[in-house]
Amino acid sequence: MPLLSLRLENFRLVGRANIELAPGINLFWGDNAQGKTTVLEAAGMLATGRSFRTARDRECIGWGAGEQRVGAVEGVFTAGPSRHEVRVAIEPSRKAVWLDRKPLRALSELWGLFRTVFFVPADLGLIQGPPQQRRAALDTLLSQSQPAYLQTLVGMTRALASRNGLLRRHVPPTDPQYDAFEKTLAVSAARTMLARARLAERLTEATRVTMAEITGGTEELALVYEAGFGTASGIGALCAAGTPADELAAELLALWRRARKGDLERGVTREGPHRDDLRFEIGGHDARSYASQGQTRSAVLALRLAELDLLAGLDPGRPPVLLLDDILGELDAGRAERFLNLVAKRQVQTLMTATGAAIVEATLPVERRFCLEKGNVTPDRETPGADRSGGQ
Amino acid sequence: MPELPAALQQLIAELGKLPGVGRRSAERMAFALLASEPDDVRPLADAVTRLHVEVGLCETCGYYTDRGVCPICTDPSRDETVLCVVEMPVDVIAFERTGGFRARYHVLGGVLSPLKGISPDDLNVAGLRKRLQNASIAEVILATSPSVEGEATAHYLSQILARDGVRFTRIGRGVPMGGSLDLADSGTLRLALEGRRAID
Ligand SMILES: [Zn+2]
């Protein structure tokens, strides 16, 4: 079982909590704004060192931290035969991560040890929302399945920012500094793009199963990788064809060299993997413009389940942990119930939040239950009041 | 707690600016210095005062020296055909610790970084160009760190300094990604040197 215990210290509104988790389904219930999502956020932080709610870590430091201003999350989990301890401590201007009591130099050293798949209400906007959300979905899954990917991605981002730096400083297009940074950029960009394209294919295969499960076999979903270059460039086709990375890098290098003049006018690199996107097609149509709200919701749930299946298949000894935030509040009852049944079928450790416990327990074999009130986490076994557990 | 005397406060603040020294360590050091005899503290004060007066950078290679030219550059037993290009003077120390590496060095003083506004003019590239006019140099090892900036700087130098009869090589991947040379142990660095390859 992956996550054995979770400890929060001055983390948002939770002053102190020691949570002993069950290997099955753990339910955190209570009214809104009592700290339910915070518990899930803390669990996610152990996997990635980051919050899924905010890019500004300091927001996680609780008021109770007082003068020391440190918020922390600790967790003990098993990875295959071994047992690990992670601590993430957040201070106003820095963050430190320890693995088995040794400080880590880079967050990438953490990724992949303890994996999570989460569903948060914001996911419902994934298909129609801005592309960075869809790129982030691909990057998160890739970083969890192959930690080297994260290093490549970080390098690519830095090389791209460096090229943009040259453009912003109006360095003339013939300056060899462009060649130097474009070479470095092309190598990491080619690897990043090929990995994303390959993942889109694997997700399409995996969602064939999960979409059928969720919709009862009526809808067909495909995920299509769209390279951040115009179609005329042929880059998208090269990625889809699984071109060797060095050949793709040579093509990218030539494209960026030719683009320098135009990029200089705009002061920014116009085309590249930072413009990549992931297109959802339902029944052969682009879901951004053609799908109903019900269809896009099914597609997002199918994607998350597919992620779970992919990660579980990658290493059967270390299944990922599923984090579900307020799924009942966001989905209609029928769809939510079908989804929860599919979750139960997969028998992975799940941490989920809900405003009431009864409706979840009617569908799912909840193993352990915690009540949240004003940031206090209390294990409970009593039946919650009927008014709270009623239909949401 | 009443305020500490001004001189003590200042020492703690100054020590705390050093790399790897937190507030607590700075306090411990300051209190230890205060507890020792004045004569025992004087050599430390002298060494700090002499540091910038006496130590400068070698005119030829940019490594630390208290003469115009450093002992490595004037050592006749060094291999004149190989030049190892590094980012900072401390990197020279890392290579020297591997033992048995008998090349000469060239310290750039950093790497290209459009993000930090460091351009070729801010690095000792002109000095390197001049040294390459010496016909005896047959190999230039580009030993900048394996970061984005380090890689790009190696590409840049191999492109602008290319000439017949000089081979440009890059140290192998023994050096940890994103790690700096002075953090690599000498075994790792020796492997990196052995694994060097021609730069494309
Ligand atoms: Zn010298």
- Which CATH number belongs to the domain containing residue A62 in this structure? 3.40.50.300
Q: Among B115, B152, B178, whose Cβ lies nearest the Cβ of A184?
A: B152
Q: What is the pLDDT of residue B150?
A: 94
Q: Which residues of chain A have pLDDT under 50?
A: 383-392
CA A336 – CA A322 distance, rounded (Å): 15
Indicate the pLDDT class of residue B183, thresholds 50, 70 and 90. low
Q: Among A158, A169, A180, whose Cβ lies nearest the Cβ of B155?
A: A180
Tell me which residue of A146, A103, A140 sits closest to A123, measured CA to CA: A140
Is B145 part of the contact surface with chain A (CB cutoff 8 Å)? no
Q: Is residue A392 part of a domain?
A: no
CA A112 – CA A150 distance, rounded (Å): 10
Tokens of A106: 């880079």
Tell me which residue of A304, A314, A307 sits closest to A79, measured CA to CA: A314
Q: What is the pLDDT of residue B176?
A: 45
Q: Are A352 and A381 found together in one domain?
A: yes
Dump pLDDT digits (tens) for B66-93: 999 999 999 999 999 999 999 999 999 9
Q: Are A102 and A133 found together in one domain?
A: no
- Does position B178 have pLDDT exceeding 60, yes or no? no
Q: Among B115, B120, B177, whose Cβ lies nearest the Cβ of A165?
A: B115
> Among positive and negative, which fits the CA dihedral A90, A91, A92, A93?
negative
- Within 8 A of B119 by CB-CB distance, chain A residues are 171, 177
Tokens of A280: 């959802």
Do A106 and B114 make contact, defined as CB atoms within 8 angstroms? no
Do A180 and B117 make contact, defined as CB atoms within 8 angstroms? no
Q: What is the pLDDT of residue B185?
A: 66
Do B114 and A155 make contact, defined as CB atoms within 8 angstroms? no
* Cβ count within 10 A of residue A192: 25
Dump pLDDT digits (tens) for B89-137: 999 998 998 888 899 999 999 999 999 999 999 999 999 999 999 879 9
Residue with tokens 């790399």: B19
Is B151 part of the contact surface with chain A (CB cutoff 8 Å)? yes
Residue with tokens 């509040």: A329
Helix, strand, or coil (residue A352): strand
Q: Are A69 and A196 found together in one domain?
A: no
CA A27 – CA A340 distance, rounded (Å): 12
DSSP string, A148-167: HHHHHHHHHHHHHHHHHHHH
State how far Cα A349 lies from the chain centre: 17
Instruction: List, in order, residues 6 or more apart from A105 with CB less than 8 Å away.
Output: none
Q: Among A166, A169, A179, whose Cβ lies nearest the Cβ of B159?
A: A179
* Residues in chain A, overall count: 392
- Does position B180 have pLDDT exceeding 80, yes or no? no
C-alpha distance from B175 to closest chain A C-alpha (Å): 15
Q: Are A357 and A377 found together in one domain?
A: yes
- Within 8 A of B153 by CB-CB distance, chain A residues are 180
* Residue B140 burial class via C-beta count within 10 angstroms: exposed 0-12, middle 13-18, buried 19 and up: buried
Instruction: List, in order, residues 6 or more apart from A94 with CB less than 8 Å away.
Output: none
| Whether the Cβ atoms of residue A185 and residue A218 lie closer than 8 Å to each other | no
Q: Does an H or E element contain A24, and which?
A: none
Q: Among B120, B152, B177, whose Cβ lies nearest the Cβ of A162?
A: B152
Residues belonging to chain A with any Cβ–Cβ distance to chain B shorter than 8 Å: 106, 151, 155, 158-159, 161-166, 169, 171, 176-177, 179-181, 183-184
Tell me which residue of A212, A230, A229 sits closest to A221, measured CA to CA: A212
Q: Are A305 and A179 found together in one domain?
A: yes
* Identity of residue A264: L
Do B178 and A179 make contact, defined as CB atoms within 8 angstroms? no
Fold observed for domain B64-198: Dna Topoisomerase Vi A Subunit; Chain: A, domain 2 (3.40.1360)
C-alpha distance from B106 to closest chain A C-alpha (Å): 20
Q: Are A137 and A259 found together in one domain?
A: yes
Ligand 1 center to B106 CA (angstroms): 8
Q: Are A207 and A101 found together in one domain?
A: no
Q: Is residue A332 part of a domain?
A: yes
CA A347 – CA A278 distance, rounded (Å): 29
Tokens of B17: 């600016």
Looking at A290, A317, A344, which one is the last position of a domain?
Answer: A317
Q: Any idea what DSSP says for residue A73? A: E
Tell me which residue of A162, A156, A157 sits closest to A179, measured CA to CA: A162
CA A189 – CA B155 distance, rounded (Å): 17
User: Does B64-198 match B6-54 at the fold level?
Assistant: no
Instruction: List, in order, residues 6 or more apart from A165 with CB less than 8 Å away.
Output: B113, B114, B115, B117
- Within 8 A of B177 by CB-CB distance, chain A residues are 151
| Whether the Cβ atoms of residue A231 and residue A211 lie closer than 8 Å to each other | no
Q: Find the angle CA(B131)-CA(B176)-CA(A180) to the nearest 5 degrees.
A: 50
Q: Are A333 and A359 found together in one domain?
A: yes
- Mean of pLDDT values over B33-40: 93
| Whether the Cβ atoms of residue A21 and residue A6 lie closer than 8 Å to each other | yes
Ligand 1 center to B48 CA (angstroms): 23
Q: Are A100 and A163 found together in one domain?
A: no
Q: What is the pLDDT of residue B177?
A: 45
User: pTM here?
Assistant: 0.86
| Whether the Cβ atoms of residue B169 and residue B175 lie closer than 8 Å to each other | no
C-alpha distance from B92 to closest chain A C-alpha (Å): 23
* Residue B64 burial class via C-beta count within 10 angstroms: exposed 0-12, middle 13-18, buried 19 and up: middle
Do B114 and A159 make contact, defined as CB atoms within 8 angstroms? no
Yes or no: domain B6-54 corresponds to CATH 3.40.50.970: no
Give the total number of structural domains in chain A: 2
Q: Are A165 and A182 found together in one domain?
A: yes
Do A177 and B120 make contact, defined as CB atoms within 8 angstroms? yes
Do A159 and B152 make contact, defined as CB atoms within 8 angstroms? yes
Q: Are A183 and A296 found together in one domain?
A: yes
Domain ranges of chain B: 6-54, 64-198
- Does position B174 have pLDDT exceeding 60, yes or no? no
- Does position B179 have pLDDT exceeding 60, yes or no? no
- Does position B7 have pLDDT exceeding 60, yes or no? yes
Q: What is the pLDDT of residue A122?
A: 85
Q: Which domain holds residue A220?
A: 122-317
Dump pLDDT digits (tens) for A50-78: 888 888 888 888 877 666 788 999 999 98
Indicate the pLDDT class of residue B42, thresholds 50, 70 and 90. very high
Q: Does an H or E element contain A90, and which?
A: strand A82-91
Looking at A300, A317, A334, which one is the last position of a domain?
Answer: A317
Determine the residue among A107, A162, A256 to mutate to test chain B binding: the one whose Cβ has the most chain B Cβ atoms within 10 Å.
Answer: A162
Helix, strand, or coil (residue A2): coil
**CATH number for position A165:** 1.20.1050.90
Residue in chain A closest to B180 (alpha carbons) equals A105
Looking at A259, A286, A317, which one is the last position of a domain?
Answer: A317
Tokens of B21: 């020294």
* Residue A82 burial class via C-beta count within 10 angstroms: exposed 0-12, middle 13-18, buried 19 and up: exposed
